[in-house]
Amino acid sequence: MAEKNREELLGKVLNLKDLIAYQDGTIASRMIINQKTGSITLFSFDEDEGLSEHTAPFDAVVTILDGECEVWIDGVTSPMKEGETIIFPANVPHALSATTRFKMMLTMIREKADE
């Protein structure tokens, strides 16, 4: 069913923040692209929800689609709001927390280009 839902998005003009709803007291996610080379996932966070500090083996690009949050990268805190983007470097500790309800798009590129 999830694959069919993703196929229904192909070739259409999309407003990404409308593709995922807020859910009280939790984090929701919707994967819109999932390939071995990378993925694009939409997330919605209720106020005060977040992701605890972790690392990832690949760079991660986060774009805020709605609301506001704070991100931490290697101990440095940055506030973010709708329309802003940040790159979490591979293998560097990072985390985020909702200061208001917010939605984001996470883009992960898993394979490196041949050099």
pLDDT at site 93: 97
CATH number, domain of 79, equals 2.60.120.10
In a domain, 111, yes or no: no
Residue 64 lies in a domain: yes
Domain count, the chain: 1
**pLDDT at res. 8:** 83
Q: Which residue has tokens 């991100």?
A: 71
* Structural domain includes residue 47: yes
Q: Is residue 94 one of the residues assigned to a domain?
A: yes
State the pTM of this model.
0.89
Boundaries of domain holding 66: 2-9+17-105
Q: Which residues of the chain have pLDDT under 50?
A: 1
d(CA 68, CA 80): 6
